[in-house]
Structure 1
């Protein structure tokens, strides 16, 4: 029996992993390994099984990815989400080198396919992810702006503030003062 890798769109957090793992278990599949956007199952599903998986995933807001190009786009997004939201301060090389190494593709080809598919650059998507992370940290109110800047590899709090304002239209301190904090789900960022 061969193992099968399934690629799943919109898996953006640990809760998503738990939901997908539970769903596949209920459908009778053995999950050998699971991570954001990717599941290794023990079985080799037939066409009808894949359709059941697809329908079950869609019912809870996920999407099974068949197309090779779409898989690559999802892998790019998952690497950036992981980097921004789970690997606090770990980006010590530039983003292009990081993605090339992780995905084993030339950065120019990654950049081209990402831009063509999403209508924005990888760098812009990365900035949008970082801004959502800044919003989250501001709402928690446990770190200073200087600490948030250091955590997300900004050169300074001033640079973070400038980028935050250019994306959101308000400063981080204005955002903190708001009664409702308008944040986007990670799967809703382009």
Structure 2
């Protein structure tokens, strides 16, 4: 039994959901970002208890198929930007179509309709959050960050960063305080 879960954006989220499953003694096969695969079907009462426990820590079960698809697009983008070490040469549209198994035009129009922003804008926002994270870690140069995130140049990264944040990357590096946004709020 598959259950789609909203707001699972990192491995700590997976761990938190896994702990709930263990506490509730719900047998599961797999827990990944955005999805739980239970070993058996559960009663409606047990499912509601699971849903309540998830909501108590900021997650939500998604029953609507269109919302599930949007969450899968978001999770795929988050994985790609924040967790995948192997960057692909595919365009965003090719990458998403391949991973989500839907036509990109359909995904794009559905995403825009339901989220109020384009997939491209969401991707840019995620990339900028990753840039912020890497700047705060202070382990890589801007050139290395640009290369890691697929920017053609430091100037392009800097321009996009300033458009989104209103700050240059170097100014952001100097102030650093409280400027990052949690991934589930992007």
Aligned to 1:144: 141
How many residues are aligned here?
186
- Does the C-alpha gap of structure 1 residues 157 and 181 become closer, same or farther in structure 2, counting only changes over 3 Å? farther
Asked if 1:41 is matched to 2:43, the reply is no
Asked if 1:69 is matched to 2:66, the reply is yes
Deviations 1:126-183, CA, capped at 9 Å, x for gaps: 0000000000000000000000000000001110000000000010000000051411
Aligned to 2:100: 103
Quote the offset at 1:87 in angstroms: 1.1
Give the Cα–Cα distance (whole angstroms) in 2 for the partners of residues 157 and 67 of structure 1. 41
The range that moved more, 87-96 or 101-110, is 87-96
Contact 1:89/1:150 (<8 A) preserved: no
Structure 1 gap ranges (5+): none
Output aligned runs, 1:1-190, within 5 Å.
4-88=1-85, 90-189=87-186
Quote the offset at 1:88 in angstroms: 3.4
C-alpha RMSD of matched pairs (Å): 0.9
TM-score by length of 2: 0.98
Structure 2 gap ranges (5+): none
Give the Cα–Cα distance (whole angstroms) in 1 for the partners of residues 123 and 22 of structure 2. 33
Quote the offset at 1:70 in angstroms: 0.6
> Partner of 2:150: helix, strand, or coil?
coil
TM-score by length of 1: 0.96
Give the Cα–Cα distance (whole angstroms) in 1 for the partners of residues 86 and 156 of structure 2. 16
